[in-house]
């Protein structure tokens, strides 16, 4: 499903609302991300009015818009309220305790409200470890597909009760973008507590204007997304724009809007001009390369010379040992690494065919010399081009 959009909606003559309606006509599967600030009150209790509005809207929309998958924050915030915390815990064990307590209340409310509408829900808790292995990634995809086939609404959250930094996604905005790839969705909706992306910070500038449409996420757009944080959420607008950028490379449009306003989700699903719409890239990444580029975390770095960088960017070649200058970090064959230029700036990511110790021995060597140096030659290239993804910012937007 993902990225199957007819990109004719990019025509300059179309209004934002016409573009939205054109996108929605093609949507069969939607991911809705709900932030902690949307789902909780000022006293860090679950906001039942917001939950009722969201669940009722999704129940109605399923008949015309197909499948819905929720990526829901709120567990830690709900647990904070029960534990009497006034701000997000700084110690991981306290954060985990709040998540364990709050997740029960969070899912209980979803189950009760969707149940009243004759819909069933399923809890899916993920960590980065669940998605970094390709087999486990595909198993998660198959499990979610089975739930959707039985008309069950998956509610996904990071497993905050056990997660540590090494296996954390970072924030649920990033997780929601990865989920669009995981479930092969056609649209990502990120609901937050502000109306969308503004040309200036609306909290400090009353004359700030909402940006209704972003065709390409440029450096200027990223600068507008100041990373403002609250006492209970991990991210700000910057993480939402980063998530939209990731989804765009999957071929998926994103809408960022205010989920606190009753009826906003309904208006979005009707194609009305609510929030900020961010269009997808015209050339999306293949599914496996999406996984390499955005789901995996690099375990080390390979520094290459200018010739190797140019060959990868301009010719789409594999990374050969002859172009490698230095190896940083320890990693095994098959793990993800970042390819960096002489200055240390990353320009690509890929799955290496050799471990760091072996690459250190063969760096600078010609392909024909690998067997002589190592005593064996499992592959002629360190990273095959099929396992290599050029980062968007590295070469004029090329991926």
Per-residue pLDDT at 235: 59
d(CA 245, CA 254): 9
Model pLDDT, residue 228: 47
pLDDT for res 114 = 97
Whether the per-residue pLDDT at 233 is higher than 70: the answer is no
Sorting pLDDT into bands at 50, 70 and 90, what band is 47? very high
The residues, any chain, with a CB within 8 Å of residue 201's CB and separated by 6 or more, are: 208, 226, 228
pLDDT of residue 5: 59
pLDDT digits (tens, 9 = 90+) for 60-75: 999 888 999 999 998 8
CB 153 within 8 A of CB 114: yes
Q: Which pLDDT belongs to residue 169?
A: 55
Do 102 and 76 touch, CB atoms closer than 8 A? yes
| Per-residue pLDDT at 166 | 42
Strand-strand pairing, 187-192 and 67-72: unpaired
Q: In the numeric block, which tokens belong to residue 70?
A: 């929720």
Residue 319, classed as helix, strand or coil, is: strand
Q: How confident is the model at residue 288 (pLDDT cuts 50, 70, 90)?
A: confident
Q: Which residues are registered as beta bridge partners of 276?
A: 256
Q: Distance between CA atoms of 308 and 328, rounded to whole angstroms?
A: 17
Q: What are the tens digits of pLDDT across the range 342-381?
A: 999 999 999 999 999 999 999 999 999 999 999 999 999 9
pLDDT for position 99:
86
Kindly give, in sequence order, each residue whose CB lies less than 8 Å from that of residue 249, ignoring residues fewer than 6 positions away. 280, 281, 284, 285, 290, 293, 294, 392, 399
- Work out whether the CA dihedral 213, 215, 220, 221 comes out positive or negative: positive
User: Sheet of 388-390: strands edge to edge?
Assistant: 324-328, 301-304, 336-340, 346-351, 388-390
The SS3 of residue 210 is strand
Q: Identify the pLDDT of residue 111.
A: 97
Distance of alpha carbon 356 from alpha carbon 326, whole angstroms: 10
Q: What is the arithmetic mean of pLDDT over 147-160?
A: 92
Q: How confident is residue 115, by pLDDT bands cut at 50, 70 and 90? A: very high
What is the model's pLDDT at position 167?
Answer: 36
Is 221's pLDDT higher than 80? Answer: yes
The pLDDT of 328-336, averaged and rounded, is 94
Whole-angstrom Cα distance, residue 271 to residue 268? 5
What average pLDDT does this structure show over 134-158?
A: 92
Specify the DSSP element, H or E, that contains 275. Answer: none
Reference 289, options 392, 194, 164, 167; nearest CA is: 392
Across the chain, what does the average pLDDT equal? 87
User: Which is more confidently placed, 135 or 261?
Assistant: 261
> For residue 103, what pLDDT is reported?
92
Residue 170 pLDDT greater than 70, yes or no: no
| CATH number for domain 7-284, candidates 3.40.50.300, 3.40.1160.10, 3.40.630.30, 2.60.120.890 | 3.40.1160.10
Q: Supply the pLDDT for residue 128.
A: 79
Average pLDDT over residues 128-137: 82
Residue 232 clears pLDDT 60, i.e. is over it: no
Read off the pLDDT of residues 190-215 as tens digits, 9 standing for 90 and up: 999 999 999 888 878 888 899 999 99
Choose which CATH entry (2.30.130.10, 1.20.210.10, 2.40.50.100, 1.10.10.60) describes domain 298-394.
2.30.130.10
> Strands, DSSP E only, in the chain?
29-34, 67-72, 120-126, 152-158, 187-192, 213-214, 254-258, 276-278, 301-304, 324-328, 336-340, 346-351, 388-390
**Can you give the pLDDT at residue 168?**
52
pLDDT category at 113 given cuts 50, 70, 90 is very high
Q: Give the pLDDT confidence score for residue 296 in this predicted structure.
A: 85
120 neighbors 153 (Cβ within 8 angstroms):
yes
**Can you tell me the mean pLDDT for 175-197?**
94
Quick one: what percent of the chain has pLDDT higher than 70?
Answer: 90
Segment 30-49 mean pLDDT: 91
Same fold, 7-284 and 298-394: no
Domains in the chain: boundaries: 7-284, 298-394
| pLDDT at residue 240, rounded to an integer | 94
Alpha carbon separation from 350 to 126, 295, 345 (Å, rounded):
23, 12, 15
């Amino acid at each position: 499903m993902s990225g199957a959009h007819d990109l004719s909606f990019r025509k300059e003559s179309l209004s934002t609302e016409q573009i939205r309606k054109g996108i929605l006509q093609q949507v069969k599967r939607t991911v809705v991300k709900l932030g902690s600030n949307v789902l909780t009150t000022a006293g860090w209790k679950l906001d039942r009015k917001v939950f009722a509005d969201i669940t009722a809207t999704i129940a109605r929309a399923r008949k015309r818009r197909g499948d819905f998958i929720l990526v829901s924050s709120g567990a830690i915030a709900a647990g904070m309220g029960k534990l009497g915390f006034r701000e997000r815990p700084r110690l991981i064990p306290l954060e985990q305790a709040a998540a364990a307590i709050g997740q029960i209340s969070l899912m209980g409310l979803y189950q009760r409200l969707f149940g009243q509408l004759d819909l069933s829900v399923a809890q899916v808790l993920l960590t980065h470890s669940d998605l970094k292995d390709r087999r486990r990634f595909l198993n998660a995809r198959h499990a979610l597909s089975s739930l959707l086939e039985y008309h069950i609404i998956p509610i996904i959250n990071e497993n905050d009760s056990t997660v540590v930094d090494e296996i954390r996604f970072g924030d649920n905005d990033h997780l929601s973008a990865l989920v669009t790839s995981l479930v092969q969705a056609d649209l990502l909706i990120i609901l937050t507590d502000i109306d969308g992306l503004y040309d200036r910070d609306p909290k400090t500038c009353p004359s700030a204007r909402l940006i209704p449409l972003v065709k390409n996420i440029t450096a200027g757009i990223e600068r507008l997304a100041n990373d403002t944080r609250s006492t209970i959420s991990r991210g700000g607008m910057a993480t939402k724009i980063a998530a939209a950028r990731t989804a765009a490379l999957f071929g998926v449009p994103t809408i960022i809007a205010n989920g606190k306003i009753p009826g906003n989700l309904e208006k979005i699903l009707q194609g009305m001009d609510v929030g900020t719409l961010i269009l997808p890239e015209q050339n999306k990444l293949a599914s496996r390369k999406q996984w390499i580029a955005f789901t995996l975390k690099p375990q080390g770095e390979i520094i290459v010379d200018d010739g190797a960088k140019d060959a990868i960017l301009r010719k789409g070649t594999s990374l050969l040992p002859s172009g490698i200058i230095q190896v940083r970090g320890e990693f095994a064959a098959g793990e993800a690494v970042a390819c960096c230029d002489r200055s240390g700036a990353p320009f690509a990511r890929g799955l290496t065919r050799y471990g760091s110790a072996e690459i250190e021995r063969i760096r600078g060597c010609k392909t024909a010399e690998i067997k002589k140096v190592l005593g064996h030659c499992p592959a002629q290239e360190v990273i095959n081009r099929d396992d290599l993804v050029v980062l968007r910012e590295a070469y004029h937007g090329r991926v």
